[in-house]
Amino acid sequence: MKHKIYIFVVEDEPEVLDAIVRDLEEFEDIFPIEMADSAEEARDLLSALIDEGHEIGLILCDHVLPGQNGVELLVEMQDKPSTAETRKVLITGQAGLDETVRAVNEADLKHYIAKPWKKQELVETTRKLLTDYVLEQTENPMEFMSVLDSERIADFIRKGRSITDN
């Protein structure tokens, strides 16, 4: 199977999980979405995906989960080279200040989405962070233009950093 960049969603309430995935369906053709309902399940799935040669471009993570909490999962991911570059987002109503600060400082949290969220905010954040990811981490970001920020990707090509005349 072809190497893919995944969007990963961790959320314990099935309805909320469904709603997030539904809001992100415009990305799904190019960035497959993988889901988990606890940090433990997420950890297994993440290592399985990485073992198969895929990357995780973005993780949207709830904070309050059964067992280990979301911030701990994000910090753990930040410490592993294979998921250090993954863009990390908390999507929660209940993370306290201390935990949020920890996520910013130790997991390089890129965005905090408060529940209930607006679809537009979720989509725009996803688009921006995935664009950041492909511009930094892939050799040929052109192939992601159709669902991401095509202006930024085109400008990147203009500056001559991926393809040239042949």
Partner 1 sequence: MTKVKTTGLFLGIIGFCIPLLMNFQGLSLAGHIAMSIFLLAAVFWMFETIPIYSTSILVIFSQVLLLSTEGIIDFSGVAGYDPQSYTQFIGTLANPIIILFLGGFVLADAAVKYDFDKNLTRILLSPFGNRTSTIMLGLMAVTAALSAFMSNTATTAMMITVIIPIIAKMDKGDPARIGIALSVPFAANIGGIATPIGTPPNAVVIAALNQQGLAVAFGSWMLYALPLAIVMLLVAWQVLLRLHPPATEFVALDLDTKLQKSSHAILLYVTFGITVLLWVTEGFHGIKSSIVALLPVVVLTLSSAFSKQDIRKLPWEVLWLIAGGIALGISMKDTGLASWLVGGIAWGDLSSMMVLVVFGAVTLIMSNFLSNTVTASLLIPLALTLVTSGALDGTFGMLLVGLVIALSASFAMILPISTPPNAIAESTGVLKTKHMLLSGSIIGVIGLILVLLLSVFYWPNII
Residues in contact with partner 1 by the rule CB under 8 A: 142-143, 145-147, 150-151, 154-161, 163-166
Radius of gyration of the chain (CA): 16
Q: Which is nearer to partner 1, 70 or 141 (CB)?
A: 141
Q: Which is nearer to partner 1, 75 or 147 (CB)?
A: 147
Minimum CB–partner distance for residue 100 and partner 1 (Å): 34
Minimum CB–partner distance for residue 40 and partner 1 (Å): 38
Q: What one-character-per-residue DSSP string does 82-132 give?
A: HHHTSEEEEEES---HHHHHHHHHHH-EEEEEESSPPHHHHHHHHHHHHHH
Q: Which is nearer to partner 1, 113 or 153 (CB)?
A: 153
Please enumerate in sequence order all residues whose Cβ is within 8 A of that of 165, keeping only pairs 6 or more positions apart, or say none.
none
Separation between Cα atoms, residue 148 and residue 155, nearest integer Å: 13
Q: Which is nearer to partner 1, 78 or 138 (CB)?
A: 138
Minimum CB–partner distance for residue 159 and partner 1 (Å): 6
Minimum CB–partner distance for residue 140 and partner 1 (Å): 9
Q: Which two tokens stand for residue 27?
A: 């990305």
